[in-house]
């Protein structure tokens, strides 16, 4: 069974006591377990923290864009979608010169099935990566145990797990997943054929509905 850990690195849309500290703790957890992760970085975040993003690119050859301003692509014109993708890629390239941006995570996952968005992704040579298991790590209405259980469900059949960089409990959820997974289970995007891969290369959402919520 293979699991891909993905982390959206962004300015949180909810208050967080120490968002950069949460990300650094997640990196410590990954290093402790010797596990890879794929990062999708918001362009605005890359502009604000270029040194940190450069270090992420060094550890993750699959590091991709999470757009520039975390907007809903369905609300943009085709030109707006292309500009949002280009601005996001440019911000990453400026923070990490020489890094080839090959993957994209659409904000909230919105727009993956929109023809104009898919055309813009193809034009930018980007593969859109969705997720199979969202941890809802941002949702404090859920217990940490419930949020971790959503991640652990990926161990049953493999798939792409979604975490965020800024919630204070994200490092704990990540640690719980890696401790349960054991060595070799968590892989890079480059190491697996993504579940749900479409002809376009996009990984569409197939989230389980029977997980704790």
Pull the structure tokens for residue 82: 């292309």
Radius of gyration of the chain (CA): 16
Distance CA 133, CA 209 (A): 10
Distance CA 26, CA 170 (A): 7
pLDDT at residue 194, as a whole number: 57
pLDDT at residue 209, as a whole number: 46
Pull the structure tokens for residue 148: 């971790």
Tokens 């968590």 found at: 186
Dihedral, 118, 124, 125, 131 alpha carbons, nearest 10: -50
Exposure class string for 55-92: b at 16+ Cβ within 10 A, else e? ebbeebebbbbbbbebbebeebeeeebbebbbbbbbbb
Domains for the chain: give ranges and CATH numbers: 3-191 (3.20.20.370)
pLDDT at residue 74, as a whole number: 94
Pull the structure tokens for residue 157: 């059949």
pLDDT in tens, the chain (213 residues): 789 999 999 999 889 999 999 999 999 999 999 999 999 999 999 999 999 999 999 999 999 999 999 999 999 999 999 999 999 999 999 999 999 999 999 999 899 889 999 999 999 999 999 888 899 999 989 999 999 998 999 998 888 999 999 999 999 999 999 999 988 899 998 887 754 444 333 444 444 445 554
pLDDT at residue 86, as a whole number: 98
pLDDT at residue 89, as a whole number: 98
Return the bridge partners of 4, or none: 160
């Amino acid at each position: 069974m293979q699991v891909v850990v993905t982390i959206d690195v962004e300015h949180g849309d909810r208050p967080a006591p120490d968002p950069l500290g949460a990300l650094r703790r997640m990196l410590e957890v990954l290093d402790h377990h010797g596990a890879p992760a794929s990062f999708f970085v918001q362009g605005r975040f890359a502009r604000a923290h270029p040194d940190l993003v450069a270090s992420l690119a060094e550890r993750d050859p699959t590091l991709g864009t999470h757009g520039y301003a975390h907007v809903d692509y369905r609300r943009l014109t085709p030109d707006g979608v292309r500009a949002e993708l280009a601005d996001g890629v440019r911000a990453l390239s400026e923070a990490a010169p020489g890094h080839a941006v090959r993957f994209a995570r659409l904000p909230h996952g919105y727009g993956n099935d929109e023809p104009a968005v898919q055309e813009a992704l193809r034009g930018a040579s980007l593969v859109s990566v969705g997720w199979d298991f969202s941890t809802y790590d941002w949702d404090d209405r859920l217990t940490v145990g419930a949020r971790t259980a959503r991640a652990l469900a990926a161990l049953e059949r493999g798939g792409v797990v979604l975490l965020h960089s800024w919630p204070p409990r994200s490092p704990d959820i990540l640690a719980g997943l890696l401790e349960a997974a054991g060595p070799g289970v968590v892989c890079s995007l480059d190491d697996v054929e993504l579940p749900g891969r479409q002809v376009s290369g996009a990984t569409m959402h197939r989230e389980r509905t029977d997980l704790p919520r």
